Amino acid sequence: MKNKWLSVPYIVWMAIFVVAPLILVLIYAFTSRSGGFTVENFTTMAQYVTVFGRSFFLALIATLVCILLGYPLAYYLAREGAGMRRMATMLIMLPMWMNFLLRTYSWMSILENTGLLNTLFQKIGLFALINSVFGTNIEYFHMINTQGAIVLGMVYNFLPFMVLPIYTVIDKIDYRVIEAAQDLGANTRQVFRKVIFPLSLPGVLSGITMVFVPAVSTFAIPRLLGGGMVTMLGDLIEAQFMGSAYNPYLGSAISLVMMVVVLICMAVMNRFGEGEEGAVVL
């Protein structure tokens, strides 16, 4: 069953449709509108520093929230019985079958000033209560079109990508290893800190990658939940290719820089992750 040649077509395919496009991005990034070599695309990017900063910041927050929600969820899931576990993993996958734009759009209905949540608060008399206590005159909470809403959208959309890898890793942990730790004097908290958590780190790391990367590059979420008030990297790139500021060269340059920064982040994190493993030991 040693059919090495079977890999050849796919390697060719990857060369054409994975590697070549990225090389094109690289070339475009150093090309001017007139077609010559230039680094101007990178110098003009200086004005986008805030966009870069904001995107990475929001993605980071979203990733953190995903860990905070996703890790306990994955952990608790792994402790459930087999039937429950299977159902729960299914429930985590299932939303993906409803287009993410639509689900995000649905958040608009929920978060708007006149949306479902505010209506609910209104109905239960929350605003009346607040107004009477604080003497304010609130009619709604302002939730939509804020950075918070964008983070919420990211967390909502990418949470499953955090939960699933962590769950998979925790689920694979040999229960005897946990018993061994108890046997050696570790109480429940120590078992978690010294055994379960370090063993689940690979899952956390891949979860972080799977949340952070799409979060930093999203453009649909800020557009739907941010109301055009917040520009993010994805918007910027999209605008260069599909939007008002048509300039694929600049777009390529931005993509390239984003890719490189993400790669660096991931590399640092992986290194840090390994160090973390050592640190947990000590």
Interaction residues for other proteins, span 225-254 (CB under 8 A): 227-229, 231, 234, 237-238, 241-246, 248, 251-252
**Contacts with other proteins in 199-218 (CB under 8 A)?**
199, 209, 213-214, 216-218
Q: 80: helix, coil or strand? A: coil
Total binding residues for other proteins by CB under 8 A?
Answer: 125
Q: Is 141 in the site for other proteins (CB under 8 A)?
A: no
Residues in 174-203 at the binding interface with other proteins, rule: CB under 8 A:
174-188, 190, 194-195, 198-199
Q: Is 224 in the site for other proteins (CB under 8 A)?
A: yes
**Contact predicate 164/206, CB 8 Å:** no
Using alpha carbons, select from 231, 55, 258 the residue that is nearest to residue 154. 55
> Can you tell me the distance from the alpha carbon of 237 to that of 46, in angstroms, rounded to the nearest whole number?
15
Query: Which one, 15 or 128, has the nearer CB to other proteins?
Result: 15
Nearer to other proteins, 95 or 130 (CB): 95
Q: Is 256:26 a contact under the CB 8 Å cutoff?
A: yes
Helix pair 116-123, 100-111: axis angle to 10 deg: 30
95 binds other proteins (CB under 8 A): yes
Q: Under rule CB under 8 A, which residues in 121-140 are in contact with other proteins? A: none
Using CB under 8 A as the binding rule, whether residue 92 contacts other proteins is answered as yes
SS3 177: helix
Q: Whose Cβ is closer to other proteins: residue 85's or residue 126's?
A: 85
Q: Which of 38, 113, 122, 131 binds other proteins (CB under 8 A)?
A: 113
Q: Does 41 bind other proteins (CB under 8 A)?
A: no
Least distance from other proteins to the Cβ atom of residue 250, Å: 11
Q: Could you say which of 38, 106, 122, 168 contacts other proteins (CB under 8 A)?
A: 106
Among 63, 160, 207, 253, binds other proteins (CB under 8 A): 160
C-alpha distances (whole Å) from 271 to each of 61, 194, 195 are 21, 19, 20
Distance CA 62, CA 157 (A): 10
Print burial letters for 73-88: b (CB count within 10 Å at least 16), e (below 16). Answer: bbbebbeeeeeeeeeb
